[in-house]
Structure 1
């Protein structure tokens, strides 16, 4: 199955661009970091905040995904049209657990499609979005590193996503076993959408203090 086939069947008309929460009628928008500021005095990074963020997104991920679920890992990379194609190895290879031939097989299964640049900027027509997708399972991925990289967008922290040239990549976790989608937009927050609110109600009830807003149709 390809990602767009799945989306047309289950999440029709949804686009993989921020914000998925605003595009869908069922979802939860979480605020991360518990109001701890990112910087200390003298502009030093407040690592306590980021540790809290990492813990929160790991908890949410583990509530949504089991190791044997079938998922799509979808990554948007943004580039100038004149620049060379972004190598998928830099997008995915550091975050795959597998080694040797198995890893090569996964990399060979990554699909890519090019779309118009989705954001409003000057000369937007000179840019484009390359969207990569890989059908895999959470057990195939270095999930902890992936989650951290997604939240480290605006700060000099590792791990970071590689291969980008214009904007930091956007990464979406699409659970096709449970029909939900998880997106971390940066250290400030993340979004979860689902076909049925019953599938994510437990998140709202258990982590209500983290909820910025929610929609349940």
Structure 2
């Protein structure tokens, strides 16, 4: 079975009917949504706290030995493909080209737009091979072109998204930008320790809905 086939089987077995897209929290029954924002936007301290919170939550959700699919999406412009030299792939220790499976997702956000095409790269690996802190830091800079590192080294907004799919714990982690991140799981009990440990960071807007899951 190829990595792409394994990935699709995993989603079908554990997240049947789910399409991996934003906002992940509203796409599934069991989920958490965290607030990463503290203080005045666009200060060094602000971005340090965004990265600290995201990295701390990630470390709670993923053990170093956990197996995962790293799913990298990029909006397709003309003939552009996902380059092996992109920033995210550089954050993976000893990545080989043969480890990457490529796919496409059509009309992910615009059902009537035949040009809504996402190029997708899927990599199966252990958590400890990923410099996830650097990736999360770059995601936090999405809306701030002057800040580095970025998922997009040329400074343009191109619709790049990264999903960490934990095979062992059957959960999916997605940081959408500096504002927050979502985690969904096949079983809400998997989320309970994360919910308890980082309860102070739950996004207030969705707190009532989240609390009801664990009553």
Change (3 A) 1:54 1:163: closer
Contact 2:82 2:121 in 1 (8 A): no
Tell me the SS of whatever aligns to 2:105: strand
Aligned partner of 2:102 in structure 1 is: 112
Change (3 A) 1:117 1:91: farther
Aligned partner of 1:149 in structure 2 is: 138
Contact 2:141 2:150 in 1 (8 A): yes
Aligned partner of 1:42 in structure 2 is: none
RMSD value, Cα? 2.2
Distance apart, 1:87 and its partner CA: 1.8
Gaps of 5+ in 1: 39-44
Structure 1 length as normaliser, TM-score?
0.85
Distance apart, 1:160 and its partner CA: 1.2
Distance apart, 1:30 and its partner CA: 0.7
Contact 1:91 1:161 in 2 (8 A): yes
Contact 2:142 2:157 in 1 (8 A): no
Gaps of 5+ in 2: none
Distance apart, 1:91 and its partner CA: 5.5
Measure, in 1, the Cα distance between the counterparts of 2:117 and 2:34: 29
Measure, in 1, the Cα distance between the counterparts of 2:152 and 2:47: 20
Structure 2 length as normaliser, TM-score?
0.85
Aligned partner of 2:91 in structure 1 is: 95
Contact 1:170 1:185 in 2 (8 A): yes
How many residues are matched?
Answer: 202
